[in-house]
Amino acid sequence: MAKLDTNKIRRILDRTLPLKWLEETARRVGALRRQRKVILPLLVSTLVLAFASSSRERTLAAFRTSYEAASGDTIEESSFYDRFTGEFVKLMQEAFNQALESARGISKRLEGHIRQFVDVLITDSSVIRLHKKLKEVFPGARNNHSPAALKLHAVLNVRGISDLKIRLSAGKKADLKMFRIGRDVAGKLLLFDLGYFSYNLFNRIRRAGGWFISRLKDNANPLIVGLNLTHRGRQRPIVGRRLRDVLKRLKRDIIDIQVTVEFELRAYNGDKRKATAEYRVVGLRNPLTGEYHLFITNIPPSMLSAEEVAQSYRYRWEIELMFKELKYYYHIEELNTSNEHVIMALLYAALISWILSRRIRHAVLSALPRRLRRVPARRFAARFAQVAVDLLDFIAQELGIKISRADRCVKALLDTVIDPNVKRRPTMSALGC
């Protein structure tokens, strides 16, 4: 059984947020011009750990308070806020890549029926609403509801978090336009939600030697050309008919058919061409509603049965869980600022927080091998959010900063009781008290 102690946590922090590396990288990207009173490695660590903390607000004032508590120094607002520049965003991006690299040794084997694939990749996106003043920089898809929004596109490998790919765009950018297919998908299984539904995309995956499973759109009505699964007794003749024309009359629990679809290829020199392709459609009937859950794939029945196709699609929960943790436990949507550089820096801080929590969870699971099922990811994320900011003690000690908890308590009282609004008149004073 692996042992979990403070030294193990220190090592994880050091590999995820290496302080010397952060200082060298800050100097290289131009974020460290003059040290002054702000220690950049501690600032990066503060953003990461305070962002993950459920007891902290996601405001610059709250981050400054956390930084001061960890450093023991009082920082002027301008000195703190001026650190959020384009160069600092570059530092946070480099820190995110470094955190991913540090997690490369944490991986798991593909088991069961998905072992036959090189990798299982899940792609999805999540919209983060921003301050309306950023609508020119990050235009949202809905002018009334969210005029300014940022979209986080992610590709997650089921094997481990180190292969996570992140791309950022304006909220109105279509998911499909942010996903690229290369020859590296050969032998890999890709899982899509309806935001990426495209016969053209499926065709490119097939030609590159990859495999895919996607939900079938409600308005998709492919032509049935063959049966992969026969049933006992009399069967309704469905070959040669459109899927939606026969679907409501089917009573079988499982549908497994071959279909053909027609789609437009990418225009070449202004010339639009059409193509056809044959795919497999699998449907499992919901016993409560009687409706079918339909999937389209290019995986033949010899590789996966209809039930295994549906089971494989459930791996999409991995990326949905990542977004749930970022939104509901680390509150990534609480970015109430109109400063573009602050938004980007805090976004990378949130992603590093997620990587760090997964690394520490892996260490916890290694220490509790007999209780793995009793440490669900969402429960751990909630608990990590409660203790994350306390890990700043390790960072401060590594930097040679010594300040007791009692001193921090007193300093917090002195720093936070003063109203920052100089011209605001206290209510009781206005009443003559």
* Confidence class for position 406, pLDDT limits 50, 70, 90: low
What are the beta bridge partners of residue 276? 262
Name the least confident of 12-16, 148-152, 226-230: 226-230
- Biggest alpha carbon distance in the chain? 91
What are the beta bridge partners of residue 214? 192, 296
Are 300 and 306 spatial neighbours (Cβ–Cβ below 8 Å)?
no
Mean pLDDT estimate for the chain: 86
**Residue 365, token pair as written in the block:** 């699971």
Q: What is the mean pLDDT of residues 72-90?
A: 89
pLDDT of 15 over the 80 cut: yes
Distance CA 16, CA 32 (A): 20
Distance CA 238, CA 247 (A): 9
pLDDT of 233 over the 80 cut: no
pTM: 0.86
Q: At what angle are helices 340-367 and 6-16 packed, to 10 degrees?
A: 140
Q: What pLDDT does 208 receive?
A: 94
Q: What pLDDT does 287 receive?
A: 87
* Confidence class for position 118, pLDDT limits 50, 70, 90: very high
Q: What is the mean pLDDT of residues 387-415?
A: 74
pLDDT of 421 over the 60 cut: no
Name the least confident of 6-10, 57-61, 191-195: 57-61
pLDDT of 191 over the 80 cut: yes
Name the least confident of 203-212, 264-273, 288-297: 264-273
* Confidence class for position 261, pLDDT limits 50, 70, 90: very high
Condensed to tens digits (0 to 9), the pLDDT of residues 123-153 reads: 999 999 998 899 998 998 877 777 899 999 9
Q: What pLDDT does 121 receive?
A: 96
Kindly give, in sequence order, each residue whose CB lies less than 8 Å from that of residue 345, ignoring residues fewer than 6 positions away: 47, 84, 88, 89, 92
Q: What pLDDT does 430 receive?
A: 52
Distance CA 81, CA 63 (A): 10
What secondary structure, in 3-state letters, does 80-100 show?
Answer: HHCCCCHHHHHHHHHHHHHHH
pLDDT of 120 over the 90 cut: yes
Are 199 and 263 spatial neighbours (Cβ–Cβ below 8 Å)?
yes
pLDDT of 260 over the 80 cut: yes
pLDDT of 433 over the 50 cut: no
Q: What is the mean pLDDT of residues 169-176?
A: 89
Q: What is the mean pLDDT of residues 12-18?
A: 94
Kindly give, in sequence order, each residue whose CB lies less than 8 Å from that of residue 36, ignoring residues fewer than 6 positions away: 79
pLDDT of 106 over the 90 cut: no
Measured in residues, the chain has a length of 433
Distance CA 285, CA 292 (A): 4
Q: What is the mean pLDDT of residues 157-179?
A: 90
Condensed to tens digits (0 to 9), the pLDDT of residues 22-62 reads: 999 999 999 976 656 788 999 999 999 988 886 667 788 88
- The percentage of the chain sitting over the pLDDT mark of 70, rounded to a whole number, equals 88
Closest alpha carbon to 58 in 147, 130, 145: 130
**Residue 403, token pair as written in the block:** 């300040």
Distance CA 412, CA 415 (A): 5
Q: What pLDDT does 72 receive?
A: 83
The residue with tokens 């011209």 is 423
Distance CA 272, CA 269 (A): 9
Distance CA 264, CA 54 (A): 48
- The percentage of the chain sitting over the pLDDT mark of 90, rounded to a whole number, equals 50
Q: What is the mean pLDDT of residues 150-172?
A: 92
